[in-house]
Amino acid sequence: MASSLVGTLGASSPWQQRQAIDDGVAGIIVDNVTGDFEDLLAANARYAETFELAGFDGVAHAGVGVVTCMDSRIDPLRMLGLQPGDAKMLRNPGGRVTPQALAALVLGVNLLGVERVLVVPHTQCAMATASEDELRRQVSDASGRDASWETFGAVADQMTALHEDVARVRAHPLIPARIAVGGFLYDVDTGRLTQLC
Protein backbone atom coordinates (compact mmCIF):
# COMPACT_ATOMS: atom_id res chain seq x y z
CA MET A 1 0.00 0.00 0.00
CA ALA A 2 2.72 2.48 0.99
CA SER A 3 4.71 2.04 -2.24
CA SER A 4 1.63 2.35 -4.44
CA LEU A 5 0.54 5.37 -2.41
CA VAL A 6 3.89 7.07 -2.90
CA GLY A 7 3.70 6.32 -6.61
CA THR A 8 0.16 7.67 -6.81
CA LEU A 9 0.93 10.86 -4.91
CA GLY A 10 4.26 11.45 -6.62
CA ALA A 11 2.82 11.23 -10.12
CA SER A 12 -0.25 13.35 -9.59
CA SER A 13 -1.09 17.02 -9.35
CA PRO A 14 -1.52 18.69 -5.94
CA TRP A 15 -5.29 18.69 -6.50
CA GLN A 16 -5.27 14.96 -7.26
CA GLN A 17 -3.11 14.32 -4.18
CA ARG A 18 -5.53 16.26 -2.00
CA GLN A 19 -8.47 14.40 -3.54
CA ALA A 20 -6.77 11.05 -2.91
CA ILE A 21 -6.26 11.96 0.73
CA ASP A 22 -9.83 13.24 1.06
CA ASP A 23 -11.17 10.05 -0.51
CA GLY A 24 -9.26 7.92 1.95
CA VAL A 25 -7.08 6.38 -0.76
CA ALA A 26 -3.96 7.82 0.79
CA GLY A 27 -4.53 6.44 4.26
CA ILE A 28 -1.69 7.16 6.62
CA ILE A 29 1.67 8.08 5.17
CA VAL A 30 3.75 5.79 7.34
CA ASP A 31 7.20 7.04 6.39
CA ASN A 32 6.90 10.06 8.68
CA VAL A 33 4.97 8.54 11.57
CA THR A 34 6.87 8.20 14.85
CA GLY A 35 5.94 7.37 18.41
CA ASP A 36 6.99 10.81 19.63
CA PHE A 37 3.41 12.07 19.70
CA GLU A 38 1.53 9.07 21.10
CA ASP A 39 0.56 10.81 24.35
CA LEU A 40 -0.80 13.80 22.45
CA LEU A 41 -2.67 11.64 19.95
CA ALA A 42 -4.19 9.67 22.84
CA ALA A 43 -5.28 12.92 24.47
CA ASN A 44 -6.72 14.05 21.15
CA ALA A 45 -8.67 10.81 20.81
CA ARG A 46 -10.25 11.45 24.23
CA TYR A 47 -10.99 15.04 23.19
CA ALA A 48 -12.61 13.92 19.94
CA GLU A 49 -14.94 11.52 21.80
CA THR A 50 -16.86 14.47 23.22
CA PHE A 51 -16.02 17.06 20.55
CA GLU A 52 -18.67 19.80 20.54
CA LEU A 53 -17.21 22.43 18.24
CA ALA A 54 -18.25 20.98 14.88
CA GLY A 55 -20.09 23.37 12.63
CA PHE A 56 -18.31 26.55 13.70
CA ASP A 57 -18.06 28.95 10.79
CA GLY A 58 -14.63 30.45 11.55
CA VAL A 59 -16.04 33.88 12.40
CA ALA A 60 -14.86 35.52 15.64
CA HIS A 61 -18.25 35.46 17.39
CA ALA A 62 -17.20 37.85 20.16
CA GLY A 63 -15.63 40.11 17.52
CA VAL A 64 -12.20 39.89 19.16
CA GLY A 65 -8.73 39.60 17.66
CA VAL A 66 -5.69 39.13 19.91
CA VAL A 67 -2.00 39.46 19.12
CA THR A 68 0.04 38.04 21.98
CA CYS A 69 3.20 36.15 22.79
CA MET A 70 3.80 32.44 22.30
CA ASP A 71 4.67 32.19 26.01
CA SER A 72 3.06 29.11 27.55
CA ARG A 73 2.03 31.08 30.66
CA ILE A 74 -0.62 32.89 28.60
CA ASP A 75 -4.03 31.34 27.96
CA PRO A 76 -5.62 34.05 25.79
CA LEU A 77 -9.19 32.74 25.83
CA ARG A 78 -9.34 32.29 29.60
CA MET A 79 -7.49 35.58 30.14
CA LEU A 80 -10.39 37.39 28.44
CA GLY A 81 -13.29 35.20 29.57
CA LEU A 82 -13.81 33.91 26.03
CA GLN A 83 -14.68 30.53 24.56
CA PRO A 84 -13.55 28.67 21.42
CA GLY A 85 -15.03 30.41 18.41
CA ASP A 86 -15.06 33.84 20.05
CA ALA A 87 -11.75 35.25 18.85
CA LYS A 88 -8.90 35.14 16.37
CA MET A 89 -5.61 34.42 18.15
CA LEU A 90 -2.27 35.42 16.67
CA ARG A 91 0.83 34.38 18.60
CA ASN A 92 4.52 34.99 18.06
CA PRO A 93 7.64 35.69 20.14
CA GLY A 94 7.02 38.95 21.98
CA GLY A 95 3.42 39.39 20.85
CA ARG A 96 4.46 41.77 18.08
CA VAL A 97 2.42 43.07 15.17
CA THR A 98 4.63 41.52 12.50
CA PRO A 99 3.74 41.74 8.79
CA GLN A 100 2.14 38.29 9.07
CA ALA A 101 0.13 39.30 12.14
CA LEU A 102 -0.99 42.49 10.43
CA ALA A 103 -2.12 40.57 7.35
CA ALA A 104 -4.06 38.19 9.60
CA LEU A 105 -5.73 41.14 11.34
CA VAL A 106 -6.75 42.58 7.96
CA LEU A 107 -8.39 39.24 7.13
CA GLY A 108 -9.98 39.03 10.57
CA VAL A 109 -11.40 42.54 10.42
CA ASN A 110 -12.71 42.35 6.88
CA LEU A 111 -13.78 38.73 6.56
CA LEU A 112 -14.06 37.11 9.98
CA GLY A 113 -15.99 39.46 12.25
CA VAL A 114 -13.17 41.05 14.26
CA GLU A 115 -14.27 44.43 15.65
CA ARG A 116 -11.83 44.84 18.55
CA VAL A 117 -8.09 44.16 18.43
CA LEU A 118 -5.97 43.66 21.52
CA VAL A 119 -2.17 43.75 21.28
CA VAL A 120 -0.88 42.00 24.40
CA PRO A 121 2.78 41.64 25.34
CA HIS A 122 3.51 40.42 28.87
CA THR A 123 5.78 40.84 31.86
CA GLN A 124 8.98 38.79 32.11
CA CYS A 125 9.09 38.28 28.34
CA ALA A 126 12.37 36.82 27.10
CA MET A 127 12.05 38.93 23.95
CA ALA A 128 12.12 42.09 26.09
CA THR A 129 14.79 41.00 28.57
CA ALA A 130 17.46 39.76 26.14
CA SER A 131 19.16 41.49 23.23
CA GLU A 132 19.21 40.09 19.72
CA ASP A 133 22.86 39.09 20.21
CA GLU A 134 22.05 37.37 23.51
CA LEU A 135 19.23 35.40 21.90
CA ARG A 136 21.50 34.38 19.02
CA ARG A 137 24.17 33.25 21.48
CA GLN A 138 21.65 31.30 23.57
CA VAL A 139 20.23 29.57 20.50
CA SER A 140 23.74 28.82 19.20
CA ASP A 141 24.69 27.32 22.56
CA ALA A 142 21.49 25.27 22.80
CA SER A 143 21.57 24.02 19.21
CA GLY A 144 25.30 23.64 18.75
CA ARG A 145 24.95 25.56 15.48
CA ASP A 146 25.66 29.10 14.36
CA ALA A 147 22.54 31.24 14.83
CA SER A 148 24.22 34.59 14.12
CA TRP A 149 22.25 34.95 10.89
CA GLU A 150 18.80 34.53 12.49
CA THR A 151 16.61 37.46 13.52
CA PHE A 152 14.41 36.77 16.54
CA GLY A 153 12.87 40.20 17.09
CA ALA A 154 14.23 41.17 20.50
CA VAL A 155 12.48 44.23 21.93
CA ALA A 156 14.70 46.93 23.44
CA ASP A 157 11.77 48.95 24.85
CA GLN A 158 8.58 46.96 25.32
CA MET A 159 6.31 49.96 25.91
CA THR A 160 7.58 51.85 22.87
CA ALA A 161 7.14 48.71 20.78
CA LEU A 162 3.58 48.31 22.07
CA HIS A 163 2.65 51.88 21.12
CA GLU A 164 4.23 51.43 17.69
CA ASP A 165 2.38 48.16 17.11
CA VAL A 166 -0.98 49.66 18.08
CA ALA A 167 -0.31 52.66 15.81
CA ARG A 168 0.61 50.27 12.97
CA VAL A 169 -2.75 48.50 13.27
CA ARG A 170 -4.72 51.74 13.53
CA ALA A 171 -2.97 53.24 10.50
CA HIS A 172 -3.40 50.29 8.17
CA PRO A 173 -5.48 51.35 5.15
CA LEU A 174 -7.44 48.08 5.17
CA ILE A 175 -8.43 48.33 8.83
CA PRO A 176 -11.36 50.78 9.17
CA ALA A 177 -11.31 53.53 11.80
CA ARG A 178 -14.40 51.96 13.44
CA ILE A 179 -12.24 49.04 14.65
CA ALA A 180 -11.22 49.46 18.30
CA VAL A 181 -7.50 48.80 18.78
CA GLY A 182 -5.89 48.72 22.22
CA GLY A 183 -2.49 47.95 23.70
CA PHE A 184 -2.34 45.97 26.93
CA LEU A 185 0.22 44.39 29.25
CA TYR A 186 -0.46 40.97 30.75
CA ASP A 187 1.12 40.24 34.13
CA VAL A 188 2.17 36.59 34.22
CA ASP A 189 2.31 36.63 38.04
CA THR A 190 -1.18 37.99 38.69
CA GLY A 191 -3.13 37.21 35.51
CA ARG A 192 -4.10 40.88 35.29
CA LEU A 193 -4.44 42.73 32.01
CA THR A 194 -3.77 46.49 32.03
CA GLN A 195 -4.62 48.78 29.12
CA LEU A 196 -1.73 51.09 28.27
CA CYS A 197 -2.85 52.63 24.98
Q: What is the structure's pLDDT at 23?
A: 63
Q: 152 and 90 share a domain?
A: yes
Confidence (pTM): 0.82
Distance, in Å, from the CA atom of 65 to the CA atom of 82, rounded to the nearest integer, reads 11
Q: How many angstroms from the chain centroid is the CA of residue 191?
A: 20
**In this structure, is residue 142 part of a structural domain?**
yes
* pLDDT above 70: residue 9: no
Q: 11 and 106 share a domain?
A: no
Strand partners, 186: 122, 193
Distance, in Å, from the CA atom of 99 to the CA atom of 151, rounded to the nearest integer, reads 14
**In this structure, is residue 55 part of a structural domain?**
no
Q: 28 and 83 share a domain?
A: no
Strand 64-69 to strand 116-120: parallel, antiparallel, or no bridges (unpaired)?
Answer: parallel
**Res. 7 pLDDT band, cuts 50 70 90:** low
In total, how many domains does the chain have? 2
Q: 41 and 102 share a domain?
A: no
Q: What percent of the chain has pLDDT over 70?
A: 84
Q: How large is the average pLDDT for residues 77-90?
A: 98
SS (H, E, C) the chain: CHHHHHHHHHCCCHHHHHHHHHCCCCCCCHHHCCHHHHHHHHHHHHHHHCCCCCCCCCCCCCCEEEEEECCCCCCHHHHCCCCCCCEEEEEECCCCCCHHHHHHHHHHHHHCCCCEEEEECECCCHHHHCCHHHHHHHHHHHHCCCCCCCCCCCCCCHHHHHHHHHHHHHHCCCCCCCCEEEEEEECCCCCCEEECC
* pLDDT above 70: residue 20: no
Q: 91 and 8 share a domain?
A: no
Q: What is the structure's pLDDT at 3?
A: 47
Q: 44 and 73 share a domain?
A: no
Q: What percent of the chain has pLDDT over 90?
A: 80
Q: 84 and 160 share a domain?
A: yes
* pLDDT above 90: residue 195: yes
Q: 189 and 99 share a domain?
A: yes
**In this structure, is residue 160 part of a structural domain?**
yes
**Domain containing residue 14:** 2-49
Q: Could you read off the pLDDT of 29-69 as tens digits, one per residue?
A: 555 677 899 999 999 999 999 999 998 899 999 999 999 99
**In this structure, is residue 58 part of a structural domain?**
no
Q: Could you read off the pLDDT of 155-178 as tens digits, one per residue?
A: 999 999 999 999 999 999 999 999
